Amino acid sequence: MTLNLNYVNRIKEINHIAIPLIANSIAGLSIKLVDQAMIGRISVEAYGAIGVVSSLLFTIAGILGVLSVTFNIYGSRSIGQGDTKTFNDYFISSIFLNIMIGSLLTLLILVFQRPLMSIVFGFEGNILEDSLQYLPIMSVYIFIQLLLFTFSTFFKIIKDTKWIFLGSTVASVMNVVLNYLLIFGNFGFPQLGIKGSAIATVMALTTNLMIYVYLCRKHLRITFANFKIYINNVKFICNKSISLVGQEILEGGIFIIAVNAMIARIGDLQLSGYLLVSQILSIILIPMYMYSSSILTLVSEKYGTKQLTDLREYPRITLGLTMLFYLFLSIIFVGFKYEVATFITNDINLIHYAASILFFIILANVFNPLHNVYKYALQAIGQSDYVLIKTAIVNLMTLFMMLISIFILQLNLFGVLIGLFINYLVLSIIFKNKYMDILEGITSNSEAASKNRVC
């Protein structure tokens, strides 16, 4: 009975963190689609300019956002040890670090905006002018977003993620309303077009940040006596984030670009179909990322006090919950595959091709949740370097396997999908075994220490 009660309590604790994050992601994605629909009505050039600039800023913010992952790991560990002062010091230090990085990047973007758009992206004519209307206003995006990451992490660590949902929802709705007013000049507002879209985004994000600052105001007490601690913490966070940044660049950039490049050589229809289904897959995988985020917090906290039962059970329970969502959402999307594809595009050939490969892409990613859960669990206990090295090796082998499958065995897209399936399967086995080995080592050390005390 006690065992069942503990199991239920762990499920509640995991869901308490993850469910608001899942709801937040789904709401944000839905509003983003509405947002894009309004932007698409300005002009083709405007849509392209905003898309490229937004993608660039999102990518940079996403990579640098892993600095907050380090705060998550060590802040949670401090909470687990009952050391709230160290937790608050990490929080303030993380804010200082993000202010420094965000300010520097904002300045660089403002100074080099024209060569960035004209030389790096090759923009000219109307699309160049459109991007130069949008980018200066959006230059503060990374600055604000990095701070939002830190405050969001704060709420995850204290297990009060409802405020993330509240703040993000208010900001998202505000963004849509301001877009409607400022892009098109409705209800007497000036018709600002692209500038209106940028202003709406910055105002919405700033509002979100102000909400977070107000909610955390009691924890934002900065003392000059602690400045040396803040500086040392900034150095510590930067040092511990190196492998996490590498992981983000590898998985979120290099590997995806390489896979897309290989599919592009198969054919335009195959690439378009794969990218379309990838959008569907990103929705199916939302629970995986949100539950994995809860693992980062909970495992870090329990590792601080070496609570072995919790360290074993949290990843298992999280994986079970993640797979339930994965199967449930997969069944829905496979059942309505033609309707979903038609919602995204009106190209008949693309609709039929995307519908035909949807099940196989879902199957290729079936071990992705297992790999992701234990990847985060390992990062939570300080094994980020190990995760990066193993991921790099397996990804490289996977890409080599894909090349053989596509160009020698002529398996085309299915060669890519087989490679992805094996990639996630191998990483799952490696990460899970490593995690369990570390826990066994902790158990052995604890037993040896107990025997020594008895003797």
131-144 confidence digits (pLDDT tens) = 888 899 999 999 99
Report how far residue 433's alpha carbon sits from residue 296's, in angstroms, rounded to the nearest whole number: 18
Q: 450 pLDDT exceeds 60?
A: no
Query: In three state form, how does the secondary structure of 321-345 look?
Result: HHHHHHHHHHHHHHHCHHHHHHHHC
44-88 confidence digits (pLDDT tens) = 667 667 777 877 888 888 888 888 999 999 999 999 888 999 999
Q: 2 pLDDT exceeds 60?
A: no
Question: Which residue, among 4, 3, 7, 19, has the nearest Cα to 293 in the 3D structure?
Answer: 19
pLDDT of residue 232: 95
R_g of the chain computed on alpha carbons: 23
Q: 96 pLDDT exceeds 90?
A: yes
How would residue 315 be classed by pLDDT, with cut points 50, 70 and 90?
very high
Least confident of 90-94, 127-131, 387-391, 420-424: 127-131
347-388 confidence digits (pLDDT tens) = 898 889 999 999 999 999 999 999 999 999 999 998 999 999
HSE-CB at 437 with a 13 A cutoff on CA atoms is 8
Domain ranges across the chain = 16-240, 267-449
SS3 195: helix
Q: 328 pLDDT exceeds 70?
A: yes
Max avg pLDDT among 61-70, 151-160, 272-281: 151-160
Q: What is the dihedral of CA 90, 95, 100, 105, to 10 degrees?
A: 120
The b-or-e profile of 330-348 (16+ CB within 10 A means b, else e) is: beebeeebeebbbeeeebe
Alpha helices in 40-83 (DSSP H): 44-64, 66-80
421-435 confidence digits (pLDDT tens) = 999 999 999 999 999
pLDDT of residue 363: 97
pLDDT of residue 378: 96
pLDDT of residue 212: 94
Max avg pLDDT among 20-24, 35-39, 130-134, 421-425: 421-425
How would residue 451 be classed by pLDDT, with cut points 50, 70 and 90?
low
**In the numeric block, which tokens belong to residue 436?**
């369990």
Q: What is the mean pLDDT of residues 410-417?
A: 92
Report how far residue 70's alpha carbon sits from residue 3's, in angstroms, rounded to the nearest whole number: 32
pLDDT of residue 447: 59
CA distance readout (Å), 334 to 173, 284, 354: 30, 11, 11
Mean pLDDT over each residue of the chain, to the nearest integer: 88
Q: 313 pLDDT exceeds 90?
A: yes
pLDDT of residue 224: 82
pLDDT of residue 197: 87
